[in-house]
Structure 1
Amino acid sequence: MRPAARVLLASCAELPRSNADDTDLPDVLAEAGITASWAPWDDPAASFGTADLVVLRSTWDYPWRRKEFLTWCDSVPALANPAGIARWNTDKTYLADLAERGVPVVPTELIHPGEPLRSPWQGVDFVLKPSVGASSRGAARFASGELDGAVAHLAGLHADDQVVLVQPYQRTVDRDGETALVFLGGTYSHAFVKGAMLPDPAAPGTGPGERFGVEPDPALRRAAEDAMDTAAALHGLRRADLLYARVDVVRDEDGSPLLLELELTEPSLGFGHADPGAKARFASAVRAALAAS
C-alpha cells in the first residue's frame, strides 16, 4: 500500500455518510492505516480525481441519473469497482449475459419499449421490474391472471423508456427469502437472508421480512462463486479484482440455486448482520486494492 493513501467513499447527497450499516467505515479504515472520508459522488468540491482510490458505496440516486453517473465513473482514475463494471452492472440486462454463459439465472425475458407483455410461464405469479433501478423500486408482482394490472405497469415503465424484465416469481422466496452472499477482494466474507420484498397479490398484508445473518450451504456458495467468476472473466478481470460483490441467490422449487442479482456497483453489504470481523476484512480488501494500483 502506498504511504498516506487517501480513499474517498462515494455516497449520494440524500445520504452523504451512507446509512448506519457502514457509516463508520472511515474509522475502520483508519485502524488499517488508511485515511478515508465520505463524499457524495456529484459533489463538485470533492477531489475524486486525486484520491488514491474511490470506492462506490451508497450512490443510490444513480437510477434517475444513470447517464450522468456513468460519465462521472469514467472520469475517476481509480474507481472500485471499475467504471466498466458499473456500466454493465447498473442495467439488469446483464442477467442475460450471464445466462448465455451458463450461469443458472432466474428465467428472464426482456421487453423493450413498444413491445407487448410476454409471460411464457403459465399458471405462476410473475414479476415486472425495470432494468435500471435500485432495491425493489419499480418492481411489482402479479398473479398469473392479473394481466390488466401488469399491462398498465409495463406501460408506465416503458413511458420512462425502460427495458423491462419479466420473471416467474420464485415462491420459495416467501418461505426462505433471498440469500445474499458477500465477497470482499474476491473472497467469501459473510451472508445474510433478506425476506420477501414483493407482497403476495393474494395476501396484500404480506411484505418485506426481517434480515438476519446466516451460514449458507455449499451449493449456494458454489453458485455465487460461479456467477462471480463468470462476470469477472466477461470483463477480462480476476475475481480478486472486484473489491466487493453481493450475490443474491434463491432456490427453485427443486431446491437448485438460481442467481437473482449480482450486485457489483453499490450494494448494501449487510455489515449489521455479519460477524465483527467483516468490516476489518473490507479494510484489508481496500489495502490490497491500493497495493495493486
Structure 2
Amino acid sequence: MTRPRVLLASCAALPRSNADDTALPEVLAEVGVEADWAPWDDPAAPFGSADLVVLRSTWDYPVRRKEFLAWCDAVPALANPAAVARWNTDKAYLADLAAHGVPVVPTELIAPGEPLRAPEEGFVLKPAVGASSRGAARFAAGELGAARSHLAALHAEDQVVLVQPYQRAVDGEGETALVFLGGVFSHAFVKGAMLPDPAVSGPGPGERFGVLPDAALRRAAEDAVDAAAALRGLRRADLLYARVDLVRGEDGAPVLLELELTEPSLGFAQADPGALPRFASAIRAAVG
C-alpha cells in the first residue's frame, strides 16, 4: 500500500511552524502518512502532487492575502478548502455568522473613508484582515482622538476596520479556545487577554493553559462550527480543524470572538498527550 503524502504549509519565517506542532510529521509517520513542512510560497515545494496540503502556520498572509488566496486556489487538495480560507481570512465572516444566529461580539465594519462610530464604553479597533493581535488596539470611551488616529492609520493601508465593544470578562477569564478536529471536539485551552487592562489582575497576554469547558461554552462552539459548515455548503467533517474563540458577554453567556478555520495555533502544547495523535488521525482520514 502506498503511503499518503502530505505537505504542511508554513511560512518562510517559521518554515517548520512553531513548537506547538513542529513534531506533526513524526506523529503522522506513526499512522502511516509521509509528511513534511514547506513554506506556502516555496516554488520548489511539490504542493500540486501532494495527496493533501494542510494549512498550518501561513502567518504572513495578512500582508499578501491576494497572493496567498491565489495560491490556495491553485492547490488541488487543500485543508481547510480554499473557499473557506477566502471567507475566513476576512473578519467580515463574523457578520455572516451573526446573521445565521450565532451569538457574536457586536461588530461593525468601517471601510476606508467612513467615520468612527464608537460604542459608548471601551472598544477595540482591529483590521478585518490580520493575524493574532497585529494592528489591534483597545481604547477607553474618552479616547476618541487616539482611536480616530489609529483608524486613519489602518485606513491609510486600505484596511477595512472592525470596531467591537471590549468584553471586560476577558481581563479576568481570558478567552476560551475550543478545538475541533475533523468536526469532533478535541480539547480546549484559555488564552490570556491580548489587550489587557493593567488595572485588572488576571492571565497575562499569551498565557495559556488547558481547560475542560462548561456546557454553555461547548454548545456555543458546536453551534458556531455547524453554522460555518452550513454557510460554506460543507459537512462538519469537511473542516479538518476549527478553533472557536469564545468570551463571556455582560450577561455571562458565551459570545464568539473569532472562528479560526485557516491557520490557527491549535494549542497542542496545552492539551492532553493524545491531541496531536488525534490530529494525525484526522489528517489521515482527510487524505482518504
Deviation at 1:222? 0.6
2:94 aligns with 95
1:207, 1:4 → 2: CA distance?
43
Give the counterpart letter for 2:62 in structure 1: P
- 2:278 corresponds in structure 1 to 281
Please provide the CA RMSD for this pair.
1.6
1:73 alignment partner in structure 2: 72
Equivalent residues in 2 for 1:116-131, closer than 5 Å: 116-119=115-118, 121-122=119-120, 124-131=121-128
TM-score by length of 1: 0.96
SS at match of 1:43: coil
Moved over 3 A (4+): none
Contact 1:142 1:201 in 2 (8 A): no
1:69-101 deviation line (CA, Å, top 9, x unaligned): 000000000000000000000000100010011
Give the corresponding residue for 2:36: 37
Structure 2, unmatched stretches of 5+, are none
SS at match of 1:69: helix
2:3 is aligned with 1:4:
yes
TM-score normalized with structure 2 length: 0.97
Distance in 2, Cα, partners of 1:173 & 1:228: 22
CA distance, structure 2, for counterparts of residue 109 and residue 151 of structure 1: 15
Q: In structure 1, how many angstroms separate the alpha carbons of the residues matched to 2:123 and 2:223? A: 26
Answer yes or no: is 1:226 the counterpart of 2:216.
Answer: no
The equivalent residue for 2:54 is 55
Aligned length: 288
Gaps of 5+ in 1: none
d(CA) in 2 for partners of 1:4 and 1:178?
39
2:211 matched residue in structure 1? 214
Q: 1:114 is matched with which residue?
A: 113
SS in 2 for 1:284: helix
**Change beyond 3 A, Cα 1:64–1:81:** same
Match of 1:191 in 2: 188
CA–CA separation in structure 2 for the residues paired with 1:140 and 1:7: 38
Question: How far is 1:200 from its partner?
Answer: 2.2
**Is the partner of 1:118 in helix, strand or coil?**
coil
Q: Percent identity?
A: 80
In the alignment, what sits opposite 1:154? 151
SS for the counterpart of 2:90 is coil
Instruction: For residue 110 of structure 1, give the secondary structure of its aligned residue in structure 2.
Output: strand
Which residue pairs with 2:162 in the alignment? 165
The secondary structure found in structure 2 opposite 1:246 is strand
Aligned to 1:256: 253
